[in-house]
């Protein structure tokens, strides 16, 4: 039974298809949206559309950005010879929030998972290897401490070892299976400072 009329139902249905939004939240959001001033709704829709159209991968570190080269990679104050490898842009944001890391990043957009059929060619590894042909002194592997994150870390370290570039892994202050983005800044910093060479 369609309590709300078809357009309202469609809005609720589309909102509930978003990750983390259950049926109840979708209803709440839908009611909120139809009570918002029209200009605000237009602004919101436009922002979503513009972000979708313009956000892409940085040509160096593969993070999400609306520029050819992201602000971190184009910042002359950053140490371009130290690259921290993270699984996604949210992890990068977590490290940026600490304000203490001065190197640059490489965003893999995933982790190797034989169980899910995600192999090395499905993440941005080729791009990382290409960057290592430039002047790089250290690669810090900061993938999550899940099975996939560890598998990825091991794979990357084996790949880089023969190049002679220093490879290190952040300390396991990060709980097993823990998503980097939920971990507080102090723990993140401790993990970074306590990193060990592989
Ligand atoms: Zn970048």
The 10s digit of each residue's pLDDT in 110-164 is 999 988 999 999 999 999 999 999 899 999 999 988 889 999 999 999 999 999 9
Cβ atoms of residues 103 and 131 within 8 Å: no
Same domain, 128 and 47: no
Same domain, 100 and 154: yes
Structure tokens at 192: 């970074």
Residue 176's pLDDT is: 46
Same domain, 40 and 69: no
Nearest residue to 190 via CA among 176, 167, 171: 171
Same domain, 43 and 77: no
How far does residue 88's CA lie from ligand 1's centre (Å)?
12
Q: Is residue 1 part of a domain?
A: no
Same domain, 99 and 39: no
Structural domains in the chain (count) = 2
Same domain, 30 and 82: no
pLDDT at 4 over 70: yes
Average the pLDDT over 166-176 and give the result: 75
Same domain, 14 and 96: no
How far does residue 186's CA lie from ligand 1's centre (Å)?
24
Cβ atoms of residues 61 and 73 within 8 Å: yes
Q: For 71-195, where are the alpha helices, taking DSSP H only?
A: 89-98, 125-131, 147-160, 185-193
How far does residue 70's CA lie from ligand 1's centre (Å)?
4
Same domain, 91 and 151: yes
Residue 183's pLDDT is: 67
Same domain, 34 and 86: no
pLDDT digits (tens, 9 = 90+) for 40-97: 999 999 999 999 999 999 999 999 999 999 999 999 999 999 999 999 998 999 889 8
Residue 174's pLDDT is: 54
What CATH number corresponds to the domain at position 73?
3.40.1360.10
Instruction: Report residue 171's pLDDT band, with 50, 70 and 90 as the boundaries.
Output: confident
How far does residue 111's CA lie from ligand 1's centre (Å)?
19
How far does residue 58's CA lie from ligand 1's centre (Å)?
5
Rounded CA gap, 190 and 197, in Å? Answer: 15
Residue 190's pLDDT is: 77
Same domain, 82 and 156: yes
Cβ atoms of residues 78 and 72 within 8 Å: yes
How far does residue 72's CA lie from ligand 1's centre (Å)?
6
173: containing domain: 64-197
Residue 178's pLDDT is: 56
How far does residue 64's CA lie from ligand 1's centre (Å)?
8
Average the pLDDT over 2-31 and give the result: 91
SS3 57: strand
Q: For 55-165, where are the alpha helices, taking DSSP H only?
A: 89-98, 125-131, 147-160
Rounded CA gap, 169 and 186, in Å? Answer: 17
Residue 175's pLDDT is: 56
Q: Is residue 47 part of a domain?
A: yes
pLDDT digits (tens, 9 = 90+) for 175-195: 544 566 566 777 777 778 778
Q: Is residue 50 part of a domain?
A: yes
Same domain, 142 and 105: yes
């Amino acid at each position: 039974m369609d309590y709300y009329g078809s357009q309202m139902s469609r809005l609720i249905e589309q909102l509930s298809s978003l990750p983390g939004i259950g049926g109840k939240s979708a209803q709440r959001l839908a009611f909120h949206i139809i009570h918002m001033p029209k200009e605000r709704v237009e602004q919101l829709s436009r922002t979503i559309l513009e972000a979708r159209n313009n956000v892409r991968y940085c040509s160096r570190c593969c993070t999400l950005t609306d520029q050819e080269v992201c602000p971190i990679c184009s910042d002359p104050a950053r140490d371009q010879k130290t690259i921290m490898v993270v699984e996604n842009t949210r992890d990068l944001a977590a490290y940026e929030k600490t304000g203490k890391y001065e190197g640059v990043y490489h965003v893999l957009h995933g982790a190797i998972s034989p169980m899910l059929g995600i192999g090395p060619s499905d993440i941005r590894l080729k791009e990382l290897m290409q960057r290592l042909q430039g002047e790089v002194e250290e690669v810090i592997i900061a993938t999550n401490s899940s099975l996939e994150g560890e598998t990825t870390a091991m794979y990357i370290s084996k790949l880089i070892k023969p190049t002679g570039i220093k490879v290190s892994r952040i300390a396991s202050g990060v709980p097993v299976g823990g998503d980097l983005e939920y971990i507080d800044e102090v723990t993140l910093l401790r993990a970074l400072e306590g990193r060990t060479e592989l």
